[in-house]
Amino acid sequence: MSKPESESLVQLRVVCEPLPPKECGELTEIEIGIQKGEASCPPTRQSTERAEFEISVRVRRDPKTGGPNFLGEWAHGKPGERFLYLTWTACQGGLRERYGRMKVPLTSIPWEIVERAVAETRVLEARVSGIGRHGKPACATVPLLDGGWQLADPTGRE
C-alpha cells in the first residue's frame, strides 16, 4: 500500500457468540445474517451457539484523518463512522420479517492494523454477543468483546 489514496481489500471476520434462542416470545425461527446493501446474507459458518461472517471490504486511507475508510456494500454509515450490520429475521404470525439489526463498529480499527492485515494476508476479527437485554437478540450498537478488532489467522485457527 504505497499511496494513501490507493484501495486495498481487507478480510473481516465477525464472530457472534453466543446466539439467542431460536424462539423469543412471539418470534420463532430467529436467524442472523449480515447486511450487504439492502440484502441479508447468511453466515459463512454457523452452529447452534455461534455464527461467523467473513467478508472482503474495500478500504482506502482517508487523507484528512489518516484512518481507514471502508467502502462498498458491506460498509454502512458516513466516512469516519462506518460499521457493519448484522441482521435478525424471525417468523411472526407465519411471516418472516426483519426483526432488528446489530451495528458492529469499524471505527476502532487503526490504519496500521489494516496495512498489516493486507501485507500479512491476515483477517481482522471482532467478537460480539448475539444476546442483548432480557435474553433477546442484541440490537443497536454492540460492544466489541476481547479487546476489539484483532489480527487473526485466515483459516480461523489460532
Residue 127 pLDDT > 80: yes
Cβ–Cβ < 8 Å for 69, 61: yes
Residue 158 pLDDT > 70: no
User: Among 3-7, 49-53, 124-128, which is the least confidently predicted range?
Assistant: 3-7
pLDDT band at residue 144, thresholds of 50, 70 and 90? very high
- What are the cell numbers at 94? 407465519
State the Cα angle at 153 between 61 and 83, rounded to 5°: 40
The mean pLDDT of the chain is: 93
pLDDT of residue 24: 86
Residue 157 pLDDT > 70: no
Residue 136 pLDDT > 60: yes
Please give the residue that has the higher pLDDT: either 129 or 3.
129
pLDDT of residue 4: 46
